[in-house]
Amino acid sequence: MIRRNRGNGIGMTQRENVNQAGRVAPAPTGSIREVEPLALLEVEGLAKVYRDPMTLKPFTAVNGLSFTLGRGEIFGLLGPNGAGKTTTIKLILGLAKPTRGMIRLDGRDPRDPEARRRLGYLPENPCFYDHLTATEYLELTCALFGLDARAGRRTGATLLERLGLAAHARKPLRKYSKGMTQRLGLAQALLNEPTFLVLDEPMSGLDPIGRAEVKQILREERTRGTTILMSSHVLAETESICDRVGIMSGGKLLEVGTVPGLLATGVREWEIAVESLPERAAAELSAAGHRVEPLGTRWLIHVVEGPALQRALGLLTQSEVFIHSVEPRRETLEEHFVRALSRGKGNE
């Protein structure tokens, strides 16, 4: 029998023998013992307090964050401006020192050189030496990482091809558009083949085609086992790519979960499509608080609550209206995000 033990966030699988009395006997010498990998990132009780340099008044930017990221996972960190997302990223990267709390990156302090060696980072507003070309900049990045120059050039050329920059590889960076600069920033973040990739607003400045290409690259990196932490204001893009999301406000983490899990109970309304709608039936539905709107040659009726759905269907049946379809409309991540922020403010 295989028994799975869990404790302190560490999973372990051990093969054990069970005797006839139902008691677990010690595993014999040489038995199979498999240990599940630890989380790649562990954050516990993280806080960062700044002081105003003039008044010395404290300001809490991050307050008591705790979460973990598994290997090969894309995690979206969401929140309005000033929520603490960028400060959290700086703490995780070791660019700022926490006031309280613990961060472990692959079991190490994030400031440990060994932890940083397999770390990739794209800041919100990447800034490069604009007199260099993309090829020259990636060669400089290779040197800073201590990578083999020849292998680094090959990897850099491959990344520029993947990101649609191969034709502009020898163009000075001062001639790059915002979207091209963003793509180059992602290339340098991937140059050292990181196991942990941190992206601050990675879709910024990209057109729809560019966003689709970047999402595909991130999916490919996830398939390779890379863990990705990304912050974003583009919630539709986050919903389509992230395995889990965390919603921040006021330095606190309000919710963490999978996107389907967060939206599982989020049926916001029902949509009834009908072929035609008599004026009297439309007036009664509107008077009952339902939104009625034309949709091409049909009509669409929006019903907010389940019990009201039965009454609306009964009214349509009595009016001999042909009902084409009845479908639930679940809330989007953006709608859930707004509701979570409203609840968070109400609990402050």
Return the beta strands (E) in 17-57 as ranges.
17-18, 24-25, 33-35, 41-51
Residue 112 reports pLDDT greater than 80: yes
Q: Burial code of 204-233, b = ≥16 C-beta within 10 A, e = fewer?
A: bbbeeebbebbbebbeebbeeebbbbbbbe
Quick one: which H or E segment has residue 39? none
Question: Domains in the chain and their CATH numbers?
Answer: 39-263 (3.40.50.300), 267-331 (3.30.70.980)
* pLDDT of the residue at 261: 82
Q: Comparing 166-175, 218-227, 228-237, which segment has the lowest mean pLDDT?
A: 228-237
Q: Comparing 151-155, 216-220, 241-245, 265-269, which segment has the lowest mean pLDDT?
A: 265-269
Residue range 204-227: mean pLDDT, rounded: 91
Give the pLDDT band of residue 26 (cuts 50, 70, 90): very low
Q: Is-contact 69 39, C-beta < 8 A?
A: yes
Q: Which residues pair with 103 in a beta bridge?
A: 43
Residue 256 reports pLDDT greater than 70: yes
Question: Full-prediction pTM beyond 0.85?
Answer: no
Give the pLDDT band of residue 8 (cuts 50, 70, 90): very low
Residue 12 reports pLDDT greater than 60: no
Q: 134 is written with which tokens?
A: 């993309």
C-alpha span between 273 and 149 (Å, rounded): 62
- Cα separations in angstroms, 307 against 204, 310, 338: 43, 6, 25
Q: What percent of the chain has pLDDT over 90?
A: 47
C-alpha span between 31 and 18 (Å, rounded): 14
> First vs last Cα of the chain: how many Å apart?
49
Max Cα–Cα distance, the chain, nearest Å: 82
* pLDDT of the residue at 262: 82
* pLDDT of the residue at 120: 95
Give pLDDT tens digits for 136-172: 999 999 999 888 889 889 999 999 999 999 999 999 9
Give the pLDDT band of residue 341 (cuts 50, 70, 90): confident
Among candidates 125, 104, 117, which has minimal Cα distance to 145?
Answer: 117
Residue 48 reports pLDDT greater than 80: yes
Give pLDDT tens digits for 263-280: 766 556 788 899 889 889
Q: Is-contact 75 93, C-beta < 8 A?
A: no
Among candidates 197, 174, 218, which has minimal Cα distance to 123?
Answer: 197
If one compares 55 and 122, the residue with the highest pLDDT of the two is 122
Residue 282 reports pLDDT greater than 70: yes
245 three-state secondary structure? strand
C-alpha span between 208 and 206 (Å, rounded): 7
If one compares 326 and 168, the residue with the highest pLDDT of the two is 168
Cβ contacts of residue 45 below 8 Å, gap of 6+? 64, 65, 66, 100, 101, 102
